[in-house]
């Protein structure tokens, strides 16, 4: 079974510091750094640093997934949740990142038993598959308010998906990034932006293999 996993307790972003700065100056810079700027200014930089940034808190516990969290993973692969079907739960687990597996398993509650039985039957933990749409885990699709953006951002931080969340948001809607930065800065934004759902089958063939 999956080993105990880390949790995150903060959403801050470190910036490169002057090597001659004093400890006091270093603490000041880390405290005042804009938590969105470093990730949103350059999508390529975000993508390059994602694995490093999001693996730094491997010794910190994560909160258990809620039923809504799990349902959002399930929706991406057309699996109905809640369910007690062990095979379906195993399929959901495949797109849950390894650092969230324990949070996922705890969140299953009584459904953990059929899930665990399926793991035993297959004699291996679910292999890790990529998440089809990271934004769909934290945001409703369609018209999204600045408040919902901020809530989704905070939840992504909590589940250690901050960098991938910001990278995806930056490529899908630049205005959304501007609104989010304003909300983080303490401004009240009343605007809505459109976050479009990614097509399930980008090749246009309904998921079938072309002959």
73 membership: H or E segment, kind and range: helix 67-76
Q: Which of 20-29, 56-65, 167-176 shows the highest mean pLDDT?
A: 167-176
Question: Which backbone phi and psi does 36 adopt, to 5 degrees?
Answer: -105, -35
- Structure confidence by residue, pLDDT tens digits, 147-191: 999 999 999 999 999 999 999 999 999 999 999 999 999 999 999
**Which two three-digit tokens encode residue 141?**
């699709």
Q: How confident is the model at residue 61 (pLDDT cuts 50, 70, 90)?
A: confident
Which residues are CB-contacts of 88 (< 8 A; sequence separation ≥ 6)? 74, 79, 80, 81
What distance in Å separates the CA atoms of residue 166 and residue 5, rounded to the nearest whole number?
Answer: 23
Which residues are CB-contacts of 133 (< 8 A; sequence separation ≥ 6)? 76, 168, 197, 198
- Neighbouring CB atoms inside 10 A of 196's CB total 10
What distance in Å separates the CA atoms of residue 122 and residue 189, rounded to the nearest whole number?
Answer: 50
What distance in Å separates the CA atoms of residue 22 and residue 107, rounded to the nearest whole number?
Answer: 44
Residue with the larger pLDDT of the pair 21 and 200: 200
What distance in Å separates the CA atoms of residue 103 and residue 89, rounded to the nearest whole number?
Answer: 14
**Which two three-digit tokens encode residue 55?**
């693996």
């Amino acid at each position: 079974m999956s080993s105990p996993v880390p949790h995150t307790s903060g959403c801050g972003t470190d910036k490169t510091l002057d090597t001659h700065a004093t400890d006091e100056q270093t603490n000041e810079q880390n405290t005042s750094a804009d938590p969105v700027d470093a990730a949103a200014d350059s999508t390529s930089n975000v993508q390059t640093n994602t694995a490093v940034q999001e693996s730094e808190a491997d010794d910190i516990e994560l909160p258990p997934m809620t039923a809504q969290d799990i349902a959002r993973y399930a929706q991406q692969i057309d699996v109905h949740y809640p369910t007690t079907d062990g095979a379906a739960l195993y399929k959901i687990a495949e797109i849950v990142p390894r650092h969230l597996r324990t949070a996922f398993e705890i969140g299953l509650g009584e459904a953990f038993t059929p899930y665990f039985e399926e793991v035993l039957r297959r004699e291996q933990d679910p292999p890790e598959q990529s998440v089809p749409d990271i934004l769909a885990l934290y945001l409703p699709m369609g018209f999204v308010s600045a408040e919902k953006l901020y809530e989704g951002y905070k939840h992504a931080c909590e589940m250690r998906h901050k960098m991938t969340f910001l990278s995806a948001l930056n490529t899908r809607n630049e205005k959304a990034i501007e609104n989010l930065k304003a909300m983080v800065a303490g401004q009240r934004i009343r605007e809505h932006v459109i976050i479009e759902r990614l097509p399930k089958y980008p090749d246009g063939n309904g998921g079938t293999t072309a002959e």
